[in-house]
Structure 1
Amino acid sequence: MKNLNIPVGISDFEKIRREGFYYIDKTGLVKELLNPKPAEVTLITRPRRFGKTLAMSMLENFFDIKKNSRDLFAGLEISASEELCSRWMNQCPTVSLSFRQVDGLDFSSAYDMLTMVISNLFNRHRYLLESQEISEFQKTAFVQIASQKATAGEIKNSLILLTDMMQTYYGKKVLLLVDEYDVPVAKANNNGYYEEMLDVMKGLMQALKDNRALGFAVVTGCMKIAKESIFTGTNNFVSDTIADSRLNEYFGFVQREVDQILADGEITDKRELIKQWYDGYHFGDWDVYCPWDVMNYVLELQHNPQAKPAGYWKNTSDNAIIRSFIDYAGGSITRKLEILMEGGYIIQQIDKNLTYDYLHSSEDNLWSVLYLTGYLTQVRSETLNRELPAGSAALQIPNAEIREIFETTVIRWFDDSAKTWNRNHLFAAV
């Protein structure tokens, strides 16, 4: 077997390219976002470990005016679009941040993490303080935020301040890249401080609304939180979810890319095994593999050619939201789970615009969350041969790895929950 230098756990595009790690070319995403012109705000939602963070790193390296990235993109798909590269590559003042690490058991600790993320972002742009064009008032606010001494109001206004200062400095509109935007509110919902964190995130996201300094923005997350919940008033908002087909080629691996990996690694004999375990996701019109699983298994095969497939994806999240649904729903959904684990499908209403405060308001939301976070996928319409009610989807378990998760983790949660269910009605009926 050939060594491919697999970059498991590395989401830094520049590091992957400069240090010779194996890279599946997803640079066509740049052209797709710019064609025919970029939307003011593009929200991309995909399950975890489907390449969102690496994609955002690639976009940052392509657009950021502080970088010189031509050698990083040499030989990749986007480099063939010479006119586009000449116009856009390293031509945009770029703000890039991720909320992945914002977590805490209470609001105070999570807010401290959030202010640290914002502080680190500002410290990367301290050169702005040298400009004679930027007002002393803005510089004072900048220093307060960079030194983690800002008020709550200054934190909420921080992205507007930073983009405004950058436009003044460069004389160009700013690109804003926000990765894992929904992590702070998801963690807050799990730990009981949802309203407080939502208020802060709403303030930060005002940078997407009527911001004269903003050229365009790309935002990623696992779930599409209802627009009125966190993106209130945002105009020209384009959403791309797993039900859409425009960008799904760029998140996850499609069949030709997996075939390329197997050919390059000289392990084509593992094709069917990898397909059985890690394929099966139907995103829009695309059939997609989980890239995290494929890369981890290929890396394992390089160390041990006899290695069996394993569930790499299940260990990358605490799955708290799934557990909370099981505690809430009780035994009413067990029959549907049995159908899924028997290889069948269920038909459910799907809501792609959820709000965390009403997440447990209906059983349908459970299936929506399982679908949006990658535990279930849609059955192909040509396979069904039946008409579905408006807004509903036929859902099934995508592959052997997820089936194993259901057979172990999910069933264990149900067993734990069953011990606490109130059986008084059953006893009274008997």
Structure 2
Amino acid sequence: MGRFVNPDNSAFQVALNSPIYVDKTGLLEYTNSVLNTTEAYICNSRPRRFGKSYAANMLAAYYSKGCDSEEMFSGLDISRESDFKTHLNKYDVIHLDIQWFLANCDNVDNVVAFITKSVQAELREIYPGVLPEEETSLSESLSRIKHIVGQKFIIIIDEWDVLIRDEAANKKVQEKYINFLRAMFKGTEPTKYIQLAYLTGILPIKKEKT
């Protein structure tokens, strides 16, 4: 298991340990139904304190190869679905919290590079010899792994819009980050390596350059 690639289920366990827990595993029934389809790109834009991060942690705990979550989900709504075990802990999951990367990066100009370097380091451990040592984009790395190994990914990005909100006046950073997202999700090539994409944020998606 890694920090960002195939994480464990400890973040979701915290939610289960809480005195008030609302079963939202019905979301998993829906995401299972759209895996590897044109509907598998989901952006959950909701107000703060709406449970977005909790849902993202739940998705990671359910799909990630980095943990065994059968007992954790036993008794919850998703466990009664016929395909519950079909998808349980069967996928390579990349789970990113952009707020964390922003807070732990020494320079906001380097956030995209920090994300890329962190994820690629773990991908090289999982798939040794597949990725070149020279610097490439994260989207190129995922495309290369799919081409050579045949493995698709589930990508979960929490707080996808934090750079758009917090760096509203920094056009250079925004453009670099938007290009990162565009490369990851737009066009034909990403459909080859993405099984499911789930992004959370508070900003609506606008139909304009950004």
Normalised to the residue count of structure 2, the TM-score between the two structures is 0.78
**CA distance 1:183–1:62, change in 2 (3 Å):** same
Does residue 95 (structure 1) correspond to residue 74 (structure 2)? The answer is no
Q: What is the distance in 2 between the residues matched to 1:36 and 1:109? A: 37
Which structure exhibits the higher relative contact order, with contacts defined as CA atoms closer than 8 Å and separated by 6 or more residues?
A: 2
| Matched residues, number | 192
Q: What is the distance in 2 between the residues matched to 1:217 and 1:36? A: 10
Q: What is the distance in 2 between the residues matched to 1:217 and 1:93? A: 12
**CA distance 1:172–1:113, change in 2 (3 Å):** closer
Amino acid at match of 1:183: V
Q: What is the distance in 2 between the residues matched to 1:21 and 1:97? A: 23
Does residue 111 (structure 1) correspond to residue 99 (structure 2)? The answer is no
Kept in 2, the 8 Å contact 1:13–1:54? The answer is: yes
Q: What is the distance in 2 between the residues matched to 1:47 and 1:119? A: 31
For residues 94-243 of structure 1, what are the structure 2 equivalents within 5 Å?
94-101=93-100, 103=102, 109-131=107-129, 134=130, 138-141=131-134, 144=135, 154=136, 157-158=137-138, 160-167=139-146, 171-189=150-168, 192-193=169-170, 195-205=171-181, 206-209=183-186, 210=188, 211=190, 212-230=192-210
Amino acid at match of 2:133: T
Amino acid at match of 1:123: A
**CA distance 1:120–1:169, change in 2 (3 Å):** same
Partner of 1:253: none
Amino acid at match of 2:146: Q
Partner SS state of residue 35, structure 1: helix
Partner of 1:367: none
**CA distance 1:36–1:197, change in 2 (3 Å):** closer
Does residue 21 (structure 1) correspond to residue 18 (structure 2)? The answer is yes
- Structure 2 stretches lacking a partner, 5+ long: 1-9
Q: CA RMSD in A?
A: 2.6
- Structure 1 stretches lacking a partner, 5+ long: 1-10, 145-153, 231-430
**TM-aligned CA deviation for residue 96 of structure 1:** 1.2
Offset from partner CA, 1:158-213 (integer Å, 9 cap, x none): 2x134235435753321111111110111111xx21x2122212221121122121
Q: What is the distance in 1 between the residues matched to 2:80 and 2:127? A: 38
Kept in 2, the 8 Å contact 1:93–1:175? The answer is: yes
For residues 310-349 of structure 1, what are the structure 2 equivalents within 5 Å?
none
Tell me the percent identity: 21
Normalised to the residue count of structure 1, the TM-score between the two structures is 0.41
Q: What is the distance in 1 between the residues matched to 2:41 and 2:89? A: 20
Structure with bigger gyration radius: 1
**TM-aligned CA deviation for residue 99 of structure 1:** 0.8
Offset from partner CA, 1:393-414 (integer Å, 9 cap, x none): xxxxxxxxxxxxxxxxxxxxxx
Kept in 1, the 8 Å contact 2:101–2:114? The answer is: no
Q: What is the distance in 2 between the residues matched to 1:31 and 1:54? A: 16
